[in-house]
Chains A and B, each alone.
Chain A
Amino acid sequence: MSQPASYNGIALVTPVSLGYSKVSEHSASWFIGSVLREMIDLAGIDKADIDGLAVSSFSLAPDSVSSLSQHYNMTLRWLEQLPFGGASGILAMRRAARAVQCGDADIVACIGGDTSQAGSHRDLVSDFSSFSNSASYPYGSGGPNAAFAMITQRYMDETGASREDFGRLAISQRYNAQHYAPALLGGKTLSMEEYLAAREIASPLHLFDCVMPCSGGEGFLLMSTQRAEALRLDYVSILAADERHNAFPNDPMQLRGGWPLFADQLYASAGLGPDDIDLLQTYDDYPVISMLQLEGLGFCKPGGAADFVRSNALTFDGGGLPHNTSGGQLSGGQAGAAAGYLGLVESIRQLTNGALKNQVVDAQHAMVSGYGMINYDRGLCSACTILKRGDS
């Protein structure tokens, strides 16, 4: 199998997260455009300098990225729409990087943004995919909670992971969120007692295993390192990135994502190993999925994530493996497809010293993982990238 070419010469800059709230009267185009405006300000460029736009949103319809070029009065020569949920950010980054490397665009804005209103979560999950509509939603209409509850139950049965183990992830992320002002649940502490005593949602999932749907936007600009240096912008480089879709389709249950298919090559391309990763952002729609990422990305053996979270500090300042350093979705809220950009944007902040109270000291390398699209019984998209602090 051929391997992805180098991402040499590509810079990720101007991380922006904004607008997090439980519900909003604004539309998706407000969130996406507001992120765009903030990034233009941070970069010190003109709107006309941006000639590529990649967006992800569950609530943008009937508009598309093409519509947005008129909303924002921009003439673009490259655009992309990535409806891939939790894998959207890394996929946008990979495609935008190739566009810039090949001369199809000079500066690409990569943005995830979604609005949330009463009932919009139900509207989304009750018509999510044809397989889900015919073979999942009619069975108790649990939405993603149902499928992930079943994955979690089987994972616990097979590995011996306990609720406390999932709680360790949720509690460490809450601690991180308490040091990241925009996190929606950052104002509330979470103890193991509270985690365990929470009401049951879909056995074995309880309240703090489930994300809170919300509105919000996340984005970054992607350009050449020369351009970033000319603009005197702190930047982050891509050492490696890859993705797989519908990996291991014959596994009767999803107890691994697509990461084992490319993790070794990812590390080889980066010239690094798991021990060199200074901070890790996993896609945490449910704690069990973060565990599958810890396993699939080589931090521990398959089935070994419970042991890993028992013996490694996961807080941003705990001296172990800083994980989901802004609180992730579990403590920050799941802003639709923006959640697929959250870990990437937070890593760009961290590697440009742009984080505030949750800054990981001396972080050089970050790993960001994405996972998305529960089409029926499993998430189909797996993606991952290794990032490095830029030289400027």
Chain B
Amino acid sequence: MFDLDNWQEIFTTIRKNKLRTFLTGFSVGWGIFMLIILLGSGRGIFNGVEAMFDNEAINSIQIRPGTATIEYKGFKAGRRVRMENSDYDYLIETYPGIDKSSAFDYFWGQGISYKSESGNYTVRGVHPGYRDFAKTIVLEGRFLNELDITETRKSAVLGKLVVQDLFGKESALGKYVNVSGVPFKVVGVTDDKGSEWEQRAVFIPISAAQAIFRGGSQEFGRMTVTTGDLSLSEAISLADQMERDLKQRLMIDPRDQRGINIRNNNEEFAKYANVMKGIDAFVWVIGIFTIIAGIVGVSNIMMIVVKERTKEIGIRKALGATPFSIIALILQESIFITAISGYIGLLLGIGLLELVNTLLPEGTPFFKNPGVDINVAVYATLLLIFAGSLAGFFPAKKAASIRPIVALRDE
């Protein structure tokens, strides 16, 4: 079936029947092109949504004190709610469902300097657990630890862009940087996939931050806890319990929506995950229908081809063609055309996705790095070739059963 002569026979046929070949190939090429575009876009949406969560662990719950809007037990409406270290400790001790945790505060635009280099950065006072929440990657040294907190050490962990700004090529570890006039020892360098903003972070122990920026008060701005491997419903009930508990503890009316703000990433992500599942299913349904349309198209055209070639096949049989050689002729042509045009469709599809990727403005929400796995592409092509041969088989069978005497009968 694969000797050179056979191919030459097929090439001759293809060369002499360009329109027919193009029509057959087009339906397949178009099918695979659409499939690649759909799968690639689906991947783009998936990546886009995933990237939105690159900043924060998807199993985290964020708690932020707000402003009480309802008068409660003698506390006036309009009061700013404060959370302090004791509240943080209370929550951690009370709820065993909490995995990692951190209270944290952002102090914007703080001057940081090393020797003659200086710049303004956001300083974050955090607990060690912040690293798990922000998905921070430690490149060198270490992140902050419990001792840094309890002993209020002047330890700092710098994002890699800060190190680049202040130290250039020099190593930052063990050096002292000036944070708002207070010397801090650099104990680690970090990276973050979320954004450049995250790569410009400066982390110091929350206790040190409170001492420097809050005049020694016990207050903090926000806190976050991760829920480990709790299920979605467990995580939701944990968040609800903490909210009720905190409202009581912080003297907020249970009906007050603004006294305390709790954001559950579990829930947020589950929403997106559901949407993504839907999109995925949609893409596959469309993809499968596109393939079916391709198969029917090829089968249809091959049927016409066989009809059109009835006389030719009759002649070939009269000259000594065996039924098998006729089947091979039709099938091989069908598979060849399917494979080549499928491949062209594949290349065009990937090309378009790459183009979109290049033209896509940085940070477009919900869409990032569209593209397909090479595996998906190969499987799709193999599937289409298989489908093409399946589609070509019945017309080929029909062709083989053509009786030369009928085919050659003069009209």
Chains A and B belong together in one complex: no
A interface list, Cβ under 8 A from B: none
